[in-house]
């Protein structure tokens, strides 16, 4: 049992300025604005500049979360970064962010790779570490530069993904029952091949041949991933509600991973909730993997969609295949 409860003290997000519209994508591959909107709900996505890496997006989001929370970099003793597009394979992006933000050298810093569920994995980890009493204030970030791993010649994937970052500052809750009240994580490791970057790891190190085969890019079996996403996100939502003796209608706002509007619509239907109860920004950012939930969370708070005392459900699904859900009482 956790010894201390944890709470989100502030949020921030950042997306690069450059907008890539569906019309722009249609100039690169055989597709159309109409097809992309109908099949995914995406209208545009943000693309980082050539000199911007994941940590550059992350520090902008983190600075906004510091400002929102009133917490200073000097108070942070834990940095957890969820990403599948780290600045480098080694060292972790968390260490780069620590240095850029002036976070003390006594802080523990590491990355989490759970793809689109990464932010939920990261907050669960940070909250457990704070609950243990050994850490007190965490900076948790979901940040991605997916444009660097997208095959811009593959029409089945390139229109889906975008770049961005979202951050939260987490601390000790002054009151039990307020803050992160529960999480549920899991993984379907047998389905690793459905969504994968096959090259660049120890299995297939980067060589001129692996590059010629395009193994440095995201490969996805879209239809299979779609079906699993709907089933597994619904289950992850139901499981956590059941664990806490709650019914779906008691949730004030669902913040789902933003992968495809049709996936969100289907989950709303299965949970028998009006789609208005779901926060949606996939139309403006596409799928930003680990950044998707913290960007949406920040936008939802700042748009006044979350009020004190309300209950928010986060639910995600991604490569791994990982899944996760979290309940937050504000």
Could you confirm whether 260 is annotated as catalytic? no
Name the segment binding ligand UT7 (CB under 6 A); options: 5-13, 176-184, 224-232, 278-286.
224-232
| Residue number, 71 or 195, with CB nearest to ligand UT7 | 195
Instruction: Judge whether 77 and 108 are in contact, CB under 8 Å.
Output: yes
Nearer to ligand UT7, 291 or 306 (CB): 291
186 binds ligand UT7 (CB under 6 A): no
- The yes or no reply on residue 76 touching ligand UT7 (CB under 6 A) is no
Phi-psi region of 200 (alpha: psi -120 to 50; beta: other; left: phi over 0): left
Q: Is 113 a catalytic residue?
A: no
- Cβ atoms of residues 13 and 167 within 8 Å: yes
Q: How far is the CB of 189 from ligand UT7 (least distance, A)?
A: 16
Binding mask 22-61 for ligand UT7 (x = CB under 6 A): ---------x---xx--xx---------------------
What's phi and psi for 182, nearest 5 deg?
Answer: -175, 155
Q: Which of 116, 127, 260, 281 is catalytic?
A: 116
277-280: list long-range contacts, CB under 8 Å, 24+ apart.
277/251, 277/252, 277/253, 278/253, 278/254, 279/253, 279/254, 279/255, 279/305, 280/41
- Per-position b or e across 154-185, b if 16+ CB within 10 A of its CB: ebebbbbbbbbbbbbbbbbbeeeebbbbbbbb
Residue 257 among the catalytic residues:
yes
- Print the binding letters for residues 275-294 with ligand UT7: x by CB under 6 A, - otherwise: ------------x-------
Residue nearer to ligand UT7 on the CB measure, 60 or 292: 292
Residues with catalytic roles: 116, 257, 287
């Amino acid at each position: 049992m956790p010894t201390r409860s944890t709470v989100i003290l502030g949020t921030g997000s950042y997306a690069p300025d450059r907008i890539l519209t569906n019309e722009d994508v249609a100039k690169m591959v055989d597709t159309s604005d109409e097809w992309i909107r109908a099949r995914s709900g995406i209208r545009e996505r943000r693309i980082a500049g050539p000199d911007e890496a994941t940590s550059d997006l992350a520090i902008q989001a983190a600075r906004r979360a510091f400002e929102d929370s009133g917490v200073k970099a000097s108070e942070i003793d834990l940095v957890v970064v969820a990403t599948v597009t780290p600045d480098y394979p080694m060292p972790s992006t968390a260490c780069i962010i620590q240095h850029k933000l002036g976070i003390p050298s006594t802080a523990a810093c590491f990355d989490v790779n759970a793809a689109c569920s990464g932010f939920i994995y990261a907050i669960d980890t940070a909250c457990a570490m704070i609950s243990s009493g050994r850490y007190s204030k965490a900076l948790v970030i979901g940040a991605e530069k997916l444009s660097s791993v997208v095959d811009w010649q593959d029409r089945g994937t390139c229109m889906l993904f975008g770049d961005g970052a979202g951050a939260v500052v987490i601390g000790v809750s002054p009151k039990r029952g307020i803050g992160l009240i529960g999480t549920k994580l899991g993984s379907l490791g047998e389905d690793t091949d459905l969504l994968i970057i096959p090259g660049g790891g120890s299995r297939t190190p980067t060589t001129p041949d692996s590059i010629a085969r395009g193994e440095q890019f995201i490969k996805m079996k879209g239809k299979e991933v779609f079906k699993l996403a709907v089933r597994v996100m619904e289950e992850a939502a139901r499981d956590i509600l059941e664990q806490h003796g709650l019914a779906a209608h008691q949730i004030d706002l669902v913040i789902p991973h933003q992968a495809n509007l049709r996936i969100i619509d289907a989950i709303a239907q299965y949970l028998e909730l009006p789609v208005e109860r779901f926060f949606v920004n996939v139309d403006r950012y596409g799928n930003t993997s680990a950044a998707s939930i913290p960007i949406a969370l920040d936008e939802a708070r700042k748009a006044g969609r979350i009020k004190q005392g309300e209950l928010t459900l986060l639910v995600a699904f991604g490569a791994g295949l990982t899944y996760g859900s979290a309940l937050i009482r504000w």
